[in-house]
Structure 1
């Protein structure tokens, strides 16, 4: 027999003995009253008092009703002629019995109802106090583990049982565990092998507990653990209290996470804004001297003979200055994109002309390199900002040059795929490491697999490509080639303007 059934049995036995005791006491006093010559009305009042006390001491209507019927029978047995018998000689006593039974029944019902109302009022008062205490203390807590500890303490006192609260981190993994007993502070325990993947109201047979996940919008925040025996014997009001308190705790945890995420986002936005301002200021200051260096080096190249050793030095100066100038332009483009100042001037442009302009720019930077080009026979007119798409091609081709040897193949292809124009840049370099593929388009992310003598960038070119292509309602992707070594970058642009 479980503890709950044993407790119910003893409660029933106790209330039954209390009812019998009160009726026996009324009978003894009634016999004394009869010996003293008191009228029968006083004895009737004794039994009404016994019924009233029974309804007040016991729980529910049943004992009061049973006491009223028993009082009538006992009064008939001991105090109506013939005595010591349930038979009735005087028919008028039947009216007395009916009035006595009805009066006792009504008195019992009213007393039980008043007692129930008082008990509900006290329970409601206690619930309001619990809500107030929890709400006030939740506003004082500043960390999720503190909220979990408070949840264990408040629920333990409210339900008068042992409560454990497992707090989860943002990855929904166990972070901290608190366990509380009624009237005691919660203790921090090691999480051990606890996991958060239990379904609602799933019973842990080894620990004999029920796990109740606290979650909001599909995100699990914590797990409450309640003894299974307590959960099974819990009244409906206690279940409602548990649900209400759990919702308050869940909202508090979710609100804390949202506030912390907002602070983190604001800090990141501020850092990004400071970085963009710094990059913009540096880029503007560098662009003018770089243009002067490139112009001067071009003049020296034009004034020098082919066998003049100073020509090679001037060419190196021009190449490095051109690389720095391209880097500065990328930084300025990135700051414009991040500030939302990327204005598109969409016009239908011939894709072949944009490709030719990009190849001319690359030819000036690396005249010794060969790039294979494949374009369709039909002329593809694409609604785009030609200057920005040209920058995308230049960045992709420049990226291919950095990661390949002079003898490696670089291919630029254009094809039509239904209502999209597909640009693909392939190289025969070392390819992209698997760990870098997921981050290749992130700002300032650079791969670690490039050659030692490759000219290093700062991880802006691909980020700018992605932003420009997305602004054109297109897509861009990167992968390793399947036919040979090397990388492949593909971006798609719609052939019709998006409404």
Structure 2
């Protein structure tokens, strides 16, 4: 905004105007008196002088000054004897009081009108400034350009130097800030490394913070994080009105909305790119996996036929056996990759129905008894039949993966325990425990065991080697069911690991009542 004259100059100018108007009114009154005009007419001229002085000035002082001058002039020039101070009568006091009251009322009305005019002019200027700022920022997708636009608008409106400091997504200030000084833009000004800007964590009550050198307006995103801050030197603030300071706050808020929009657009664009990459990766894995399953099944079948025709213990038999073993490993890997890509698909939904939990687990145990004839599998069930809403094929895959995992990491002559029970901490949840008698899990293994492709060295040399997908798949399946999977070491005084599956128990009360 344009610089206005100082208050002292304005006061001096208004005093001169008041004296000039009073002098003109007194002169006109004298001329009328010389022409024989009655005293009432001259009083009206003096009243008009008071009204004019109160109207053209700001505040009450100039109206009261003109009232004093006109009252003295009436006593000195109009009252008899002329050109001398007449004795003060009750009528003179009444007239003087009326003149003073009129001057005060006119001054009050004029001041309010002028304040309204000033406020309206300020509002109009604010609207124009904000319109230009919003117009310049609209459609802008570059933070650097938005910073330059904001600082340029502030500098041009308030005739000041200004600066802006950005913060990263962790609300840490950048090492450099943008400085607009003497109409020159410096984008590499060095940030004060000793300052932590801790006060920015909370929004300032007035909209800005004040220190010895500058006023600072932090800018916040919609989620409350500080994204930038605008600073103006104290010297500029001293010549600004409260309305000007408020306008700076409004401009900063407008810029903050634009900045937040740019940041959000960047995040959305990045997320869309990641989604596109993930979709391409998933489709590629699914396509490759589908293409691999058919030849792998053929190779495995051929190797099995060869084993039937060869003598066990011979070199050709061992070669066919190894081919079949490696083919099964690769087939299982492909199958797990397909399962994982399916589970990670955002459109995937499990086909859950109410099933007896023991029946689903029994089916998985029977499958593993065929695969692992040398391994003893102990089932420990409660007398209560527990029903859960689940996808039988998916839960069966989880139990098979966990039994296979326990087989790898425990001695072959030790059993694997499969326990089904209600959760002790929450009876509304059912638990499936797969317990082995191996060495257990270290803390490092417990921290990473559900990470993709994380594997440890198997204890059972006959077991097919792992590939680090089984447990992540189990985790995804349990989450899709609204349940969970946990890994820990046994707490019953025996060595070994235990995997705990939790599933919500189905509410069959409605079904029973209906039956």
Q: Same fold (TM over 0.5)?
A: yes
From 264, 288, 291, give the equivalent of 1:285: 291
Counterparts in 2 of 1:35-184, with a 5 A limit?
Answer: 48=48, 52=52, 55-56=55-56, 58-59=57-58, 61-76=59-74, 78-81=76-79, 82=81, 87=86, 108=107, 111-155=110-154, 157-158=156-157, 163-175=162-174, 177-180=177-180
Gaps of 5+ in 2: 511-515
Q: CA deviation at 1:283?
A: 1.5
Question: How many pairs were matched up?
Answer: 484
TM-aligned CA distance change 1:237 to 1:49, over 3 Å: same
Q: CA deviation at 1:493?
A: 1.0
Relative to structure 2, which stretch is displaced further, 459-468 or 264-273?
Answer: 459-468
Gaps of 5+ in 1: 1-6
Q: CA deviation at 1:135?
A: 0.7
Partner of 2:319: 313
Q: Tell me, yes or no, if structure 1 residue 349 matches structure 2 residue 356.
A: yes
SS in 2 for 1:396: helix
Partner of 2:278: 272
Partner of 1:332: 338
Q: CA deviation at 1:370?
A: 6.0
Partner of 1:22: 17
Q: Tell me, yes or no, if structure 1 residue 495 matches structure 2 residue 505.
A: yes
Partner of 2:395: 389
Q: CA deviation at 1:127?
A: 0.7
Q: CA deviation at 1:435?
A: 9.3
TM-aligned CA distance change 1:25 to 1:38, over 3 Å: farther
1:422–1:493 Cα contact (<8 Å) kept: yes
SS in 2 for 1:133: helix
Mapped to 2, the partners of 1:274 and 1:157 lie a distance apart of: 50
Partner of 1:190: 190
Q: CA deviation at 1:14?
A: 4.8
Q: CA deviation at 1:100?
A: 5.5
1:422–1:492 Cα contact (<8 Å) kept: yes
SS in 1 for 2:421: strand
Mapped to 2, the partners of 1:481 and 1:18 lie a distance apart of: 94
1:48–1:104 Cα contact (<8 Å) kept: no
Mapped to 2, the partners of 1:188 and 1:51 lie a distance apart of: 59
Counterparts in 2 of 1:332-481, with a 5 A limit?
Answer: 332-337=338-343, 338=345, 340-351=347-358, 353-362=359-368, 374-401=380-407, 412-417=418-423, 418-426=427-435, 428=438, 431=441, 434=444, 437=447, 441=450, 445-447=452-454, 455-457=465-467, 459-479=468-488
Partner of 1:201: 204
TM-score (norm. length: structure 2): 0.75
Q: CA deviation at 1:487?
A: 5.6
TM-aligned CA distance change 1:34 to 1:291, over 3 Å: closer
Q: CA deviation at 1:485?
A: 8.2
1:18–1:54 Cα contact (<8 Å) kept: no
Mapped to 2, the partners of 1:366 and 1:468 lie a distance apart of: 24
1:179–1:186 Cα contact (<8 Å) kept: yes
Mapped to 2, the partners of 1:478 and 1:362 lie a distance apart of: 21
2:446–2:487 Cα contact (<8 Å) kept: no
Q: CA deviation at 1:391?
A: 0.5
Mapped to 1, the partners of 2:457 and 2:64 lie a distance apart of: 93
Mapped to 1, the partners of 2:113 and 2:264 lie a distance apart of: 47
Q: CA deviation at 1:388?
A: 1.0
Mapped to 2, the partners of 1:254 and 1:155 lie a distance apart of: 19
Q: CA deviation at 1:492?
A: 0.2
Q: CA deviation at 1:110?
A: 5.6
TM-aligned CA distance change 1:71 to 1:152, over 3 Å: same
Mapped to 2, the partners of 1:372 and 1:358 lie a distance apart of: 13
Partner of 1:322: 328
TM-aligned CA distance change 1:14 to 1:234, over 3 Å: closer
Instruction: Note the alpha carbon deviations across 1:196-254, whole angstroms, 9 max, x for none.
Output: 54222285656564554524233433344566798799755445534433432232222
SS in 1 for 2:465: coil
Q: CA deviation at 1:294?
A: 1.8
SS in 2 for 1:216: coil
Mapped to 1, the partners of 2:211 and 2:246 lie a distance apart of: 25
SS in 2 for 1:174: coil
Q: CA deviation at 1:382?
A: 3.6
1:76–1:85 Cα contact (<8 Å) kept: no
Instruction: Note the alpha carbon deviations across 1:258-292, whole angstroms, 9 max, x for none.
Output: 22222222222222221222122111111111111
Mapped to 2, the partners of 1:407 and 1:66 lie a distance apart of: 112
Counterparts in 2 of 1:256-271, with a 5 A limit?
Answer: 256-271=262-277
Q: CA deviation at 1:66?
A: 2.5
SS in 2 for 1:129: helix
Mapped to 2, the partners of 1:238 and 1:84 lie a distance apart of: 52
Q: CA deviation at 1:394?
A: 2.1
